[in-house]
Amino acid sequence: MSKEDIIYDVIVVGAGIEGSSTAYQLAKRGQSTLLLEQFLLPHSRGSSHGQTRINRRAYLQATYSAMMKQNAEEWNILEKECGEKLYNNCGTLVVSRPSMLEGVETRLNANKAPYRALTGPEMKSEFPNVTLPDDYVGIYDYQGGILFADKSLRAFQEQFKKYGGTLRDGEQVHDVIPGDIVILKTTTGNQFRGRNVVLALGPYTNNLLAKTGLQLPLQVVRIPIFYWKEKVAGMYSPDKFPCFIDETASEGESIYGLPSLEYPGLVKICLHAGPVVDPHKREDVDSTWVRERMMKYIAKTFPWLNPVPAIEETCIYTNSPDKHLFLDRHPKYENIIIAAGFSGHGFKLAPIVGKILSDLVQAKTPAFDMDWFKISRFDKGGENLSSKL
């Protein structure tokens, strides 16, 4: 049979972490699944590359908080299946003013997640390598830590293939012809047919959605990733410094950091914001203001780091207006399912996102309240549910 004759149960477009996790889950459930990626793998032109991401259970929103237990179990399953360490459980410390963290504590309690609340003086004595404002408190999330991003992405893709899935890179889908059998055309001249399609396109979402008459309210931003050199080697190693999120760090934006691990002696600390950019021209934008803001923050908050970045890399966020995800069917074509708007916090969620999207493909009801992830939440006149998340 030629590839033109095959009708897949599902075609997933986009082999970032969300598409790869979804394809893995579908193949594991016995669905004949094709995963298409526009670039040759591995690549750094999406949002899922790099060595590390923060994991945490400490979420303010009830919906995410409820997902995190099962999500953690799924990460463990993947780790066992691939036989490689994907996670360093060094903990995650979330800091802010008390009013910002009350809700997080409520959610952690509701979901019986292990954590410890820290007063300002307790933080000072336990983490003398960080200087925080006097009115700050903290939550130490015991199950938080570092996900090894490149390894996790590879693990999903390798396990997907082991479960019988087909992965084709270098296949940019440029047209979508909806129908009971959806036809996808790629720039190499191939076309592929599937009963269901999942689009997990990261920053390129609206380019392809335009072919289906849909545009989502997404904003693509360039995030500079900074690595800062320890003045004394080992001051911020994972045994002395966990993953770190300052929720109220800089003019309303949070700042997050990971201990020195991926590059010896260098600590990754970044602003959770950046300039708007076209993902095809990500170099054509000035992000000097981010660098300057970060240098001031590092000088003030991390006395044992050199406040001039040693390395600067880039990554891309695809933000929705409320910074929450879209996990939904296409409003016109119910066998086209969309995953978008991960807004800089989607990596850790990939296993549960894969399960939810697979449920939608298989017409099963996901175990979580899907109202929060609906495309229609921003419809004119519609109620924006995000404030109740």
Ligand X SMILES: Cc1cc2nc3c(=O)[nH]c(=O)nc-3n(C[C@H](O)[C@H](O)[C@H](O)COP(=O)(O)OP(=O)(O)OC[C@H]3O[C@@H](n4cnc5c(N)ncnc54)[C@H](O)[C@@H]3O)c2cc1C
Which spans of this chain sit near ligand X (rule: CB under 6 A)?
Answer: 13-19, 36-39, 45-48, 53-54, 172-173, 200-204, 208, 223, 225, 270, 315-317, 342, 344-348
Q: For residues 21 and 335, which CB has a smaller minimum distance to ligand X in the complex?
A: 21
Classify burial at 42, counting beta carbons within 10 Å of its beta carbon; exposed 0-12, middle 13-18, buried 19 or more: middle
Q: For residues 36 and 361, which CB has a smaller minimum distance to ligand X in the complex?
A: 36
Strands 145-148 and 7-13 come out as unpaired
Residue 189 CB, shortest distance to ligand X, in Å, is 14
Q: For residues 225 and 310, which CB has a smaller minimum distance to ligand X in the complex?
A: 225
Q: For residues 200 and 214, which CB has a smaller minimum distance to ligand X in the complex?
A: 200
Residue 262 CB, shortest distance to ligand X, in Å, is 13
Q: For residues 278 and 383, which CB has a smaller minimum distance to ligand X in the complex?
A: 278
DSSP, res 377:
G
Terminal CA-CA length for the chain: 48
What SS3 state is found at 185? strand
Compute CA 153 distance to the chain's CA centroid, rounded to the nearest angstrom: 12
How many angstroms separate the Cα of 322 from the Cα of each of 107, 207, 249, 355, 372? Answer: 19, 21, 19, 23, 11
Residue 80 CB, shortest distance to ligand X, in Å, is 21
Which tokens hold the place of 4?
Answer: 């033109």
Residue 172 CB, shortest distance to ligand X, in Å, is 5
Compute the CA torsion angle 280, 286, 289, 294 (nearest 10 deg): 50
Q: For residues 8 and 342, which CB has a smaller minimum distance to ligand X in the complex?
A: 342
Compute CA 44 distance to the chain's CA centroid, rounded to the nearest angstrom: 15
Residue 125 CB, shortest distance to ligand X, in Å, is 27
Residue 135 CB, shortest distance to ligand X, in Å, is 26
In the complex, residue closest to ligand X by CB: 16
